[in-house]
Amino acid sequence: MQSKTYGYVRVSTKEQNEERQMIAMREFGVPDSAIYMDKQSGKDFERPNYKRLMRRIKTGDVLVIKSIDRLGRNYDEILEQWRTITKVKHAAIVVLDMPLLDTRQGRDLTGVLIADIVLQLLSYVAQTERENIRQRQAEGIAAAKARGVHMGRPPMKTPAGFSSAKKLYQAGEITSRQAAGQLGISSTTFLRWVRQR
């Protein structure tokens, strides 16, 4: 059976542009129909198109990725996926940005050792960068809160008529759902406001 070449492209958010990776895939010769793409974080491998790709890959096939962090950003899982693709499925991997990580050629023991060391190092760097991003986000949020910047949605203003609806509700003359309906809010919001105000 003839081997096939597949490409995998990943961007972390729907706003990010995948074009740079797509160009690299086409330049390598991967047909568009064989490129699988996820717009999702690299924290784990619970990605629909990656899973679809893994079901497709067979012995002798080649998987092309632009860089190791496009595969993922979790150190242990990158190593596990690499092992699954190369040792269990007996497919090859080509990392375009790192020629040392090209398992197509028959390699001697030294070549395999160097590739393994480079893979472990790059996987470590990918996970460390993900952790740094999370830390920078947390620090940015903390700094913004310290400056008095309100995070999230602005609080809803209490609608006119809340006080009278609250009195009727507390007197048992209307239900929370009826009161909320009169005010145009949810009953959950109404009950929260009753407790707070």
**H/E element, 131:** helix 109-146
> Beta-carbon neighbour count of residue 81 at 10 Å?
19
Among the listed residues 3, 12, 67, 187, the single catalytic one is 12
Q: For residues 38 and 40, what is the distance between their CA atoms, to the nearest angstrom?
A: 6
What residues does 5 pair with on adjacent strands?
62
Residue linked to tokens 């693709």: 85
Cα 161 to Cα 185: distance, rounded to the nearest angstrom: 12
Q: Quick check: helix, strand or coil at residue 179?
A: helix
Q: Determine whether 12 is an active site residue.
A: yes
DSSP state of 3: -
Q: Which DSSP state fits 32?
A: G
- Residue closest to 161 by CA, chosen among 177, 176, 179, 149: 179
Residues noted as catalytic? 12
